[in-house]
Amino acid sequence: MCLRNVLTQPLGAVSVLRQLCNHIPAHLLPKLVTQHRFESHARDFSHWSQVVTLLYSKLRQSFGSNDLCNQMDVYSGSLAAIRGATPAHRNSLSPAGKVRPAAIAERLFWGTLESLREKPPGFGRRKFPARLRKFKATIELMDSTVIEWVAICMSWASHRRNQAGAKCHRRLNVETLLPRFAVSATAREADAKRARDLTAGLKIGELGSFDRGYVDWAHLAELSQRSVIWVTRWKAGMKADLFESRPVKGKILADELIGLSDRQAARRVRALVVVEGQEREMVFFTNQLTWSAAMILELYGCRWEIEQFFKPMKQTLKLGDFIGELRQRYPLADRDGAARPSLGAVSGLGVSVAAQLQENFCTTAGKFVGKAHLPT
């Protein structure tokens, strides 16, 4: 049965919830609560019950706190089997979200993700497709997605007339399909302003593939100086000096060695690619000057994986449907780039579960966090 159909059934959602919670280390949440000294705020509604409640709200796509509390009250017996979780009540769920620090949920997410990565080497890893099978370097994909909200309720996040939203930037590892970095901002902020944040963790020899919205001359020069390989698309209006034209064949229309305006060498490849069943001419460019043009196209084509990552995040678990309207519940990075641990809930802890559970790959991903690196 399709996972989406399972989630629409209450008992099916509880079963998926139990499997998801089994991957959260039992010792991690009590440790975090002790570190933040928030045991006294638990009362009858524990921190673990709050985590289970918010995960269930996303799995069942609850419409509000009343709907969520009513559903959990019916299945209180099944929830008790999940490490003694208790159903939420309206007079306990909202105060818990207001009082308890979001840093607990943030560290819970990263700690769970780190524990999953300590599994045997075969866990969560896959072979590179086609020409990339013998590729040794780490490939990181970067892109953003906008979660639309209602401007009348969240005017602080408005970016168009009668529209509001948050923009979530992700860096995704191609081999594991797990996020390596996340930063969120208002939707009106340009992607290029977060380019340095996304690529800050890339090491020598690693490859970053990102859309042209992240293109910035100074940033690309910094990546080249750090010996980081980058592949992106050519933006209309960009100018460069042509140094050399290389022979081409097939659907590769041009393979050129160029010099950018800041005097750094780059490579521009023009080719016919299939988009939605039709061939279109696209222009790519990179600082890798020796690989074949077909390899460059294959590396940029990997970006489709991050689009598939965003799909369950927005469609299956409806991550854009948050409960509440307070600004501190939503992840926004400050202007100075300082971290604001604004996890209003752990509701996104199971985003990639929706896509990977059928393959016995239960992982935690998709919670919007304010600028947070994974532990290394």
Pairwise pLDDT comparison (104 vs 184), residue with the higher score:
104
pLDDT of the residue at 328: 42
pLDDT of the residue at 353: 34
User: Where along the chain do its domains lie?
Assistant: 3-121+347-362, 212-295
Exposure string over 174-207, b if 16+ CB within 10 A, otherwise e? bebbbbbbbbbbbbebebeebbebbbeebeeebb
| DSSP single-letter state for residue 45 | S
Give the pLDDT confidence of 133-156 residue by residue, as tens digits.
777 788 999 998 887 765 445 554
Give the pLDDT confidence of 226-252 residue by residue, as tens digits.
999 999 999 888 888 899 999 999 899
pLDDT of the residue at 326: 41
What is the average pLDDT across 255-282?
Answer: 88
337: closest CA among 150, 129, 164, 196? Answer: 196
| DSSP single-letter state for residue 217 | H
> How many other C-beta atoms can be found within 10 angstroms of the C-beta atom of residue 102?
21
- Nearest-Å Rg of the Cα atoms of the chain is 22
Q: How far apart are CA 310 and CA 143, in angstroms?
A: 10
Q: Which amino acid is at 2?
A: C
What confidence tier does 368 reach under pLDDT thresholds 50, 70, 90?
Answer: very low
pLDDT at 72 over 70: yes
* Reported pTM: 0.65
